[in-house]
């Protein structure tokens, strides 16, 4: 029985860029076995060392999660579509009505004319617009998702918008973070964002939380808001926002993006699922690249952030059906929008029947960040600096330079003489490296030093002894040796 399996863009490098693959099988287990036989590089991304399906990879048959069917024993027929939906980092129905003041604030004559297109719609009307004016929405992150979300929420008449961010505006943000203009490069994001949002609506109250959201401050920051818009770009913050929302009973308009794929949902609604119900465990650090490493289409956060703003507005005015209980999947390459069911897990450690997480935890630890840092840390003798490399290249020492970035990155900037072998290809291209008693020393570099540290460990495990990691990568090289090249 030939069944169609849909492949999300993060996993398409392992299926020769195919968006869907037709494979034989009568059960999900057979389908996945056939799929990973056809595309063997996909196997470690779907299955753990013990052969079980990884917990951060969800599989759906049509719009049902197989965990709520017969797991991998679920039977499939030719008319079924199997979807693989991994968790992605880059980046609510308790209605907010309970939190609104008993008496709604009246609209001024200016506000009546400003919001006239809302007021004439029965779903919003005077009552809905007053609810928006009374509402307090917190955007976690003033980046790709927070930009369109906060701009539309401000324009729609939300009275109070809080922003959590601690970054300054970088030139590389402007491709998607439409809160900022070229003149804002170098400014504190929250200053520039507040100015831009007040430019839309001078009556808007913008509350700046210039800090990293942590377990120590999250409950205190979130408690004063009616709806949370999660625009985080990393897994620890995602789980932190999720747990804080569940503990406080706040709806979370969730969105995440990676390359051409987007996800949106509403978590933390009464009776509804939370992020942990879908993804009980985060992926190991480094397995799922961030947008900074893997890239993101500039307009994609525009699509997803606008959907988050739409959900926030519906939660505030109490209209329509939110995405609570559904996960929206967006494939911008095929331009397909689909929803799959998202169910509350009675065994969920946060929102389940017997919750075990009743206070905020250490999310860096939960996501394995310190453990991974300890694992990839190299002894000092396996690190070298850009200055030392420059001296050795200048005196024509016997050095062989290996670049483990992707070809698209090497097209932007290169250290002269480096051989390009992307990290993902390295294990099967080891024969291209120099070996033997007179072989040169190998110095490995990437963008910032993370991937090259992994490459050094891989080479050491394969018997290469004279191999060093270029600390700080090509960015350090450009900063300290060759500022004529362009950073990315």
**What's the min distance (Å) between Cβ of 222 and Zn ion?**
17
Q: Interface with Zn ion includes 204 (CB under 5 A)? A: no
**What's the min distance (Å) between Cβ of 277 and Zn ion?**
4
DSSP character string of 335-360 = TEEEEEE----TT-TTTSSS-S--S-
Q: Which residue is nearest to Zn ion (CB)?
A: 348
Beta strands in 362-485 (DSSP E): 383-384, 399-403, 419-420, 441-445, 467-470
User: One symbol per residue from 223 to 262: x for binding Zn ion (CB under 5 A), - otherwise; what is it?
Assistant: ----------------------------------------
Q: Are 384 and 443 in contact (CB under 8 A)?
A: yes
**What's the min distance (Å) between Cβ of 207 and Zn ion?**
28
User: One symbol per residue from 270 to 289: x for binding Zn ion (CB under 5 A), - otherwise; what is it?
Assistant: ----x-xx------------
Annotated active-site residue 245? The verdict is no
Nearer to Zn ion, 106 or 249 (CB): 249
**What's the min distance (Å) between Cβ of 273 and Zn ion?**
5
User: One symbol per residue from 349 to 368: x for binding Zn ion (CB under 5 A), - otherwise; what is it?
Assistant: --x-----------------
Nearer to Zn ion, 6 or 276 (CB): 276
Nearer to Zn ion, 313 or 348 (CB): 348
**What's the min distance (Å) between Cβ of 255 and Zn ion?**
18
Nearer to Zn ion, 342 or 423 (CB): 342
Residues with Cβ within 8 Å of 4's Cβ and at least 6 positions away in sequence, in order, are: 20, 21, 22, 80, 81, 82
Q: Are 161 and 204 in contact (CB under 8 A)?
A: yes
- Active-site option among 245, 351, 367, 446: 446
**What's the min distance (Å) between Cβ of 220 and Zn ion?**
22
Q: Interface with Zn ion includes 269 (CB under 5 A)? A: no
Distance CA 459, CA 446 (A): 15
Among 288, 348, 423, 456, binds Zn ion (CB under 5 A): 348
**What's the min distance (Å) between Cβ of 31 and Zn ion?**
27
Sheet strands side by side (includes 467-470): 383-384, 467-470, 441-445, 399-403, 419-420
Residue 1: closest CA among 61, 63, 67, 58? 61
Q: Interface with Zn ion includes 315 (CB under 5 A)? A: no
Nearer to Zn ion, 245 or 474 (CB): 245
Q: Interface with Zn ion includes 76 (CB under 5 A)? A: no
Nearer to Zn ion, 131 or 276 (CB): 276
Q: Interface with Zn ion includes 209 (CB under 5 A)? A: no
**What's the min distance (Å) between Cβ of 437 and Zn ion?**
58
Residue 252: closest CA among 287, 223, 226, 288? 226
Rounded to 5°, angle at Cα 277 from 67 and 164:
150
Classify the C-alpha dihedral 66-69-73-76 as positive or negative. Answer: negative
Helix axes 189-200, 146-156, angle to 10 degrees: 30
**DSSP bridge pairs for 394:** none
Q: Interface with Zn ion includes 291 (CB under 5 A)? A: no
Nearer to Zn ion, 50 or 353 (CB): 353
Rounded to 5°, angle at Cα 421 from 375 and 447:
60
**DSSP bridge pairs for 257:** 262
Torsion of CA 135, 102, 322, 259, to 10 degrees: 20
Q: Interface with Zn ion includes 100 (CB under 5 A)? A: no
Q: Are 197 and 207 in contact (CB under 8 A)?
A: no
Distance CA 152, CA 158 (A): 9
By CB under 5 A, how many residues form the interface with Zn ion? 5
Which of positions 103-122 make contact with Zn ion (CB under 5 A)?
none
Q: Which stretch binds Zn ion (CB under 5 A): 132-140, 295-303, 343-351, 388-396?
A: 343-351
- Active-site option among 291, 348, 351, 367: 291
Q: Interface with Zn ion includes 266 (CB under 5 A)? A: no
Nearer to Zn ion, 328 or 348 (CB): 348
Q: Which residues bind Zn ion (CB under 5 A)?
A: 274, 276-277, 348, 351
Catalytic residues: 291, 446
């Amino acid at each position: 029985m030939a069944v169609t399996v849909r492949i999300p863009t993060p996993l398409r490098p392992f299926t020769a860029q195919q968006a869907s693959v037709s494979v034989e099988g009568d059960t999900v287990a057979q389908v996945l076995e056939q799929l990973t036989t056809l595309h063997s590089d996909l196997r470690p991304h779907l299955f753990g060392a013990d052969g079980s399906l990884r917990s951060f990879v969800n599989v759906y048959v049509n719009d049902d999660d197989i965990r709520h069917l017969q797991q991998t024993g679920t039977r499939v027929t030719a008319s079924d579509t199997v979807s693989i939906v991994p968790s992605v980092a880059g980046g609510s129905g308790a209605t907010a009505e309970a939190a609104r003041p008993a008496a709604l604030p009246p609209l001024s004559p200016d506000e009546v004319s400003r919001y006239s297109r809302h007021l004439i719609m029965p779903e919003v009307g005077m009552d809905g617009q007053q609810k928006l004016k009374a509402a307090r929405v917190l955007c976690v992150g003033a980046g790709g998702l927070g930009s369109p979300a906060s701009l539309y929420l401000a324009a729609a008449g939300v009275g109070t918008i809080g922003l959590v961010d601690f970054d300054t505006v970088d030139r590389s943000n402007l491709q998607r973070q439409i809160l900022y203009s070229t003149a804002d490069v170098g400014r504190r994001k929250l200053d520039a964002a507040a100015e831009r949002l007040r430019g839309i609506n001078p009556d808007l109250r913008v509350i700046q939380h210039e800090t990293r959201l942590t377990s120590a401050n999250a409950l205190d920051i979130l408690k004063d808001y009616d709806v949370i818009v999660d625009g985080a770009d990393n897994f620890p913050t995602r789980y932190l926002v999720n747990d804080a929302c569940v503990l406080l009973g706040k709806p979370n308009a969730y969105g995440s993006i990676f390359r051409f794929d987007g996800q949106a949902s509403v978590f933390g609604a009464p009776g509804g699922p939370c992020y942990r119900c879908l993804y009980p465990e985060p992926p190991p650090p480094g397995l799922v690249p961030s947008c900074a490493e893997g890239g993101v289409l500039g307009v994609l956060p525009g699509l997803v952030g606008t959907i988050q703003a739409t959900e926030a507005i519906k939660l505030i005015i109490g209209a329509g059906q939110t995405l609570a209980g559904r996960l929206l999947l967006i494939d911008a390459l095929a331009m397909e929008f689909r929803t799959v069911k998202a169910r509350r897990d009675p065994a969920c450690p946060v929102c389940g029947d017997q919750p075990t997480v009743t206070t905020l935890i250490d999310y860096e630890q939960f996501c394995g960040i310190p453990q991974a840092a300890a694992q990839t840390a190299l002894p000092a003798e396996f690190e070298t600096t850009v200055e030392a490399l420059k001296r050795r290249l200048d005196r024509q020492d016997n050095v062989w330079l290996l670049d483990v970035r992707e070809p698209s990155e090497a097209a932007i900037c290169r250290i002269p003489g480096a051989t390009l072998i992307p990290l993902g290809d390295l294990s099967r291209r080891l024969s291209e490296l120099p070996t033997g008693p007179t072989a040169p020393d190998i110095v490995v570099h990437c963008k910032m030093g993370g991937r090259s540290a992994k490459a050094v460990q891989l080479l050491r495990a394969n018997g290469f002894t004279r191999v060093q990691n270029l600390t700080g990568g090509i960015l350090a090289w450009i900063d300290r040796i060759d500022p004529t090249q362009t950073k990315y």
